[in-house]
Each structure stands twice: as structure tokens, then as C-alpha cells.
Amino acid sequence: MAKFIVRRLLSAILTLFVVATLTFFLMNMIPGGPFNTERATQKQIAALEKKYDLDKPLFEQYLTYMGKLVRFDLGDSFKRLGYPVNKIIGEKFPVSAQLGVVAILLSVIIGIPAGTYAAFKRNKPIDRVLMFVTTLGMAVPNFVMATLMLVLFGVTLGWLPTLGLSSWKHFIMPAVALSLNPMCYIARLMRSSMLDVLGQDYIKTARAKGLPERKVLFKHALKNSIVPIISYLGPLTAGILTGGFVVEKIFTIPGMGKFFVESISNQDYPLVMGVTVFYAALLILMNLIVDLVYGVVDPRIKYE
Amino acid sequence: MSGELLKIDDLHVSFFTPAGEVKAVNGISYTLEHGKVLGIVGESGSGKSVSANALMQLIPYPGRVTEGQITFDEQDILGMPIQDMRKLRGKEIGMIFQDPMTSLNPVFTIGNQLVETLMQHTDMTKAQAFERGVEMLKLVGINNPEQRMKQYPYEFSGGMRQRAMIAMTLSCEPKLLIADEPTTALDVTIQAQILELIKELKDKINSAIILITHDLGIISDLCDEVIVMYAGRIVEKGSIDDIFYRTAHPYTQGLLRCLPRLDSDDKDPLIPIEGTPVDLVALPDGCAFASRCEKCLKLCLKHQPELMQINEGHTSACWLHAIEKQEVGA
């Protein structure tokens, strides 16, 4: 087990190295530079580029960057002068993560029982209603949902605050908007996985033993059918924790989402690198956690 | 103990599929006494498993009982609310399935699954149930039972799993044990061991057994009475001797010709039953076996033969018997 984790962490470092290298060179292949969009003279641009070492050969820049990266220094943002990328991520990630955790809990807490129930009531009206609603929920993009809620509950009815995250009430709309798609997906995934498991012989055994249906479903079937959900939760968590760009924009939440998009359109090299490497690291971590959870759920999975 | 334990009367089971109503069981009736062993023989799709599942209200979706009555220990099974049924399942009626590789839950320990059954039906504490589980594993011939209780099904071989399954099923000492092809998925040598075990335990626990199989060979040793099923109907019913030595129905005769015999010449071929089983969606008006029967008459195609008495306790559903009887009478 410990050996497994160590090996996975070593391979994670390699992965991060590849991600950083690829991003670095791809980013530099994009025409233009971070300072081109400013209303600056050629001279000023040249001066800025000199200040940030952009006049040096690309490979040298790469070595310098990687040298800093191994010391966990992501450099300073070009656009917010003097603002270290570490600090941006350090400040913005907790905001997105807070919202993300609420959204994930919401999708799991509602998605799993809904899917289980639909499977249990297969082809009955309630199942069809649930499947219709979840299809709809997956088809509606979260910004549409966010906007609709904003107009209805925020403006027309005035029940919920519309910007920021200063109280639990502020979390409701953005969390619901963020969780809608994954929640519906989890419900559908759970239903199909559950249907598969409910057809297994050991479920018949459990019923033949006289166990109540509650125990058949939530003990014998759930533990077996939850594996696909766990696989899905890994990348989902990484994605949602780092912030939903549009949803954060709509509700004016000072999260990380907007830095993903803005850093690229601004060609803010250190910030692009920073958020990419950070996201990659989070994704790798989540996948490692998923693999460890598999072992808890299914004793047949062994780590070597 | 003697007397009637189980009575099935005119049981019909259908599966309602998009392709139509699949009539899996079409009016079977039989009784089983305390402590007796009944064999149900038939090929795939003959309704043998479905009729047994009906005893526990465990017919899989989209099937249901459309007609008939099942009385177990003077209780009406089919009219019983599911809560009461659950009290019978596992306690009064135990069931063993075909494939021990899949019938135990892979993510819980053997002990967990054994203890769970006991705690469901008795007032035992967890520790007592564990003790009883260990005892049961010992009884079915599993070594190191304490240690085995903590292992998962994947750590057991096929034969050992079936033993564990039997231990679990018999732990509450059911009055009736339904064994649905308990040896089909096992090696031949293990098959013999498992059958031997069932035989041994039958006397210890004194439960009645319904043994479902497609293999006539394995019932000869164990059963008091045998039912042969075809297309959801009973075609012949009798004692072991009736079925093997005074075979009446052409289908049973066909089945027996498929079995290798010790006293036969090596060169004697085994004779298969030609044709394929009937389509259960569109059952013929006449005898379901008619299209595959060598002795088929015109009458057989139009009219369904009822079970006719051949001897005391031996019945068979074939028009030939009626004709024979008439000839004898005339």
C-alpha cells in the first residue's frame, strides 16, 4: 500500500513535468505576447520583455521557470504587476473550493439516492419522471440554469442574494447551478450501475435470505454499484474545485474560474503555467484518492 | 415428522416481455412432505427454476404468478404480504443457487454474510451469530472456519463457496431447502462431494429438499420422488424407480437415452432428442412435446393431454397412456 502510494507520487512528478513542459512550449507558440495588447510603444514593450526575461532564448526561459517550479515558486503575474501566482491561487482556490465542495456534496447526496430509487422503481412512472428530469438537467448548460435562477429567485422574487459568497444563502444558487449537471449524470450512472447489480445472483441470494429490501439495496447493491460513481468523482472534483468559470462570473464570485480563461486571453504566461500545473496536480491527486477508495469498496482490488 | 409441508396447485407463471407473454409455467401441481426430497428435472426453459422461485415470491422482473396457489406449512404463500414472506425466506425456506462464484456478494466477507442471515432471523447477538457461523462452516467441511469467516468469497474455491453457501442457507435450519442446480457450475469431482454433503446434512437438519437439475444422473441417489417438466408443464411424476425403470412419457424416455449407461456397449451411441424446445410465447394447442416426439399422433397436435395415473404415485401426461388403457379396457 505505502509502496503503491510512493510509486504513484513518483509517476505524478513525471506527469507534472511533462504537463509543465508541454504547456510552456505550446503557450509560447501562440503568436503575440503578454504585452502586445497594451497600448505601448515598441520601446516600452521591449523594456517590459527585458524586465521579465522574455528577450532571452526560449530554452533558457524554460530552464529558469522549471528551476523555480521545483521550489514551488510559480513566478509573478504579468498582468497584475508584482502579484505572485502562488498568492493568486492561494487566495482564489479556497473560494472556488468552498463552493465546489458544496456542489459536489449536493450532487452526490441527491444523485446517488435518486439513481438508486429510479433503478428500484425501474420502468414505473417515478423512474420515467426521474430519467426525463435528469436528461433535461444534463442538457441544460449551467450558465442557463444560473441565469434563470438569478432572474427568478434573485431579482423577481428577491429571495436569495445575487452576488458574492458571504453567507450560506449566497451558496444556494451557485452551488445548485454548478451541481446540476454532475448530479443528473450521477443519478443516471447510478441507475444503470444499480440495474446491472440488481440483476446479479448475490442480490437474489440476499433476498432469498429474507433481508429487508432496504438492506438489499443499501448494503448489498450499493457497495457494488458505486464503483463507477467513484471513478467519475475523481476528475469531477478536480474540475469543480478549481471553479466554474461562467457560474462564478454570473454570481460575481471571486474564485479561480476566471483566471483560467483570462490568463490565456491575456497571455499571462506565469499565470497560465500556474493554473495549469495546479489543476494537473489536483487531478492527479484526485485520481490517486479514487484508486485508494476503490480498495476500500472492493476487497478484490489489491495494491502492488 | 411427516405430513404435507408444501402444496402447489395449478401454478401459472408468465413473463410479460415486449415480445409477448412468455408462459414459463403452465399449471403445475405437486405436494411435498416433511423431510422428503423431490427432484425436478427438465431442460433449460422448462420452468423448473421459475416454479421454485415462485415459492419464495422471487420471480424476477417482468414475471409474475398469473394463477394458482402455493401452500407452505399451512400458509398461503402467494397471498402473503411481502413482510411476512421475508420472515419465511432464509428461515423456513432456504435456497442455494447454481453458480457459487456469483451468488455470494464479492464485497462482503463470508462471515458477514453468514452473520447477517442469522441476525435477521434470530435474536442472536453478533458474537453468538459468529459462533454459529463458525459451527456451520465446520459442519459443511471447511477447515479453519474462524479464519475463513474473515475471508472474502474470492479467496474461496468454487466448491468451497458452494459449501459456504450451503452453510449460510442451512444456518437457520429451514424446513425446506430449494437447491437450484447446485452442482451445475462445479467440477465433476466437486459435484459428487457437494451432493454427498447435501445428503449428509439432510439427515442432520431434517429439512425437505427440492433439487432442481437438468441432470438425471445426480438425482437418482438423492430423491424420493421426481418430477419431469417440459415447457412449463409436468409431463411425468413418480418415484425414482418409476422414472428410471418404468418410464412412461416419451420425453423422459428421450432424456434417459441421452445418459451414458454403465451396462451398455462402448459403441452404443447416445441418442439426442431432436428439435428445439417450444416457443413459450406461442404454445401449441396440443402437447408441447409433440413436434419432437417420435410417437406423435394426430390427436397430440390438437389436444393437450392431462396427467394420467399409470400406477400408484406414478403419473404421466401422454395420450398413448389413454389409448393403452382403452385397449386394455376393451
**pLDDT, tens digit (0-9, with 9 covering 90-100), for A143-193:** 888 889 888 888 888 888 877 777 888 888 888 888 999 999 999 999 999
CB pairs under 8 A between A and B: 74
**What's at B2, amino acid-wise?**
S
Q: Residues A153, A197: contact at Cβ < 8 Å? A: no
Closest CA to B242 of B252, B230, B255: B252
Beta bridge partners of A84: A76
- pLDDT surpassing 80 at residue A95: yes
Strands (E), B201-300: 208-213, 225-230, 233-239
* Per-residue pLDDT band at A118 (split at 50, 70, 90): very high
Given this model, what pLDDT does residue A57 score? 85
In a domain, A28, yes or no: no
Domain encompassing residue A104: 85-297
* Per-residue pLDDT band at A243 (split at 50, 70, 90): low
Å between A299 CA and nearest CA of chain B: 6
DSSP state of A122: T
Q: What is the rounded distance in angstroms from the CA atom of residue A24 to the CA atom of residue A261?
A: 16
**pLDDT, tens digit (0-9, with 9 covering 90-100), for A38-93:** 577 778 778 877 877 788 888 888 888 888 888 888 888 877 767 888 888 888 88
* Per-residue pLDDT band at B81 (split at 50, 70, 90): very high
Given this model, what pLDDT does residue A186 score? 95
Q: Residues A248, A258: contact at Cβ < 8 Å? A: yes
Contact A224 B106 (CB under 8 A): yes
Q: Is B106 exposed, middle or buried (0-12, 13-18, 19+ CB in 10 A)?
A: middle
Given this model, what pLDDT does residue B222 score? 85
- The residues in A 112-151 lying below 8 A from B, measured between CB atoms, are 122
Å between A195 CA and nearest CA of chain B: 11
Tell how strand B208-213 and strand B75-76 pair up. Answer: unpaired
In a domain, A107, yes or no: yes
Given this model, what pLDDT does residue A60 score? 87
In a domain, A269, yes or no: yes
User: In the predicted model, what is the mean pLDDT of residues B247-273?
Assistant: 83
Rounded to the nearest integer, the mean pLDDT of chain B is 89
User: In the predicted model, what is the mean pLDDT of residues A24-34?
Assistant: 84
In a domain, A302, yes or no: no
The ipTM of this complex is 0.85
- From chain B, the residues in CB contact with A219 under 8 A are 108
Phi-psi region of A53 (alpha: psi -120 to 50; beta: other; left: phi over 0): left
Q: What is the rounded distance in angstroms from the CA atom of residue A147 to the CA atom of residue A143?
A: 6
In a domain, A245, yes or no: yes
* Per-residue pLDDT band at A220 (split at 50, 70, 90): very high
Contact B91 A210 (CB under 8 A): yes
Which of A195, A209, A218 would you mutate first to test chain B, the one with the most B CBs within 10 A? Answer: A209
- pLDDT surpassing 90 at residue A126: yes
CATH number of the domain that residue A210 is part of:
1.10.3720.10
Given this model, what pLDDT does residue A153 score? 87
Identify which of A204, A211, A300 has the shortest CB distance to residue B106: A300
In a domain, A167, yes or no: yes
Q: Which residue of B has its CA nearest to A223?
A: B107
Closest CA to A145 of A118, A165, A121, A172: A172
Q: Where are the domains of chain B?
A: 4-92+174-329, 106-172
- pLDDT surpassing 80 at residue A228: yes
* Per-residue pLDDT band at B329 (split at 50, 70, 90): low
Q: Residues B47, B25: contact at Cβ < 8 Å? A: yes
Question: Total structural domains in chain A?
Answer: 1
Architecture of domain B4-92+174-329: 3-Layer(aba) Sandwich (3.40)
* Per-residue pLDDT band at A304 (split at 50, 70, 90): low
Å between B30 CA and nearest CA of chain A: 22
Per mean pLDDT, which range of A294-298, B121-125, B207-211, B234-238 is the poorest? A294-298
- From chain B, the residues in CB contact with A197 under 8 A are none
Q: What is the rounded distance in angstroms from the CA atom of residue B244 to the CA atom of residue B242?
A: 6
Is residue B12 helix, strand or coil?
strand
Q: Which residue of B has its CA nearest to A296?
A: B107
Report chain B's C-alpha Rg in angstroms: 21
Å between A216 CA and nearest CA of chain B: 11
Given this model, what pLDDT does residue B204 score? 83
Alpha carbon B186 to its chain centroid, in Å, reads 17
Identify which of A122, A202, A208 has the shortest CB distance to residue B105: A202
Percent of residues, chain B, with pLDDT higher than 70: 99
Q: Residues B153, A299: contact at Cβ < 8 Å? A: no
Given this model, what pLDDT does residue A1 score? 79
Given this model, what pLDDT does residue B6 score? 93
Alpha carbon B219 to its chain centroid, in Å, reads 10
CB contact set of B216 (below 8 Å; sequence gap of 6+)? B41, B243, B244, B255, B256, B259
Q: Which residue of A has its CA nearest to B151?
A: A299
* Per-residue pLDDT band at B29 (split at 50, 70, 90): very high
| B239 near A CB under 8 A | no
**pLDDT, tens digit (0-9, with 9 covering 90-100), for B280-289:** 888 888 898 9
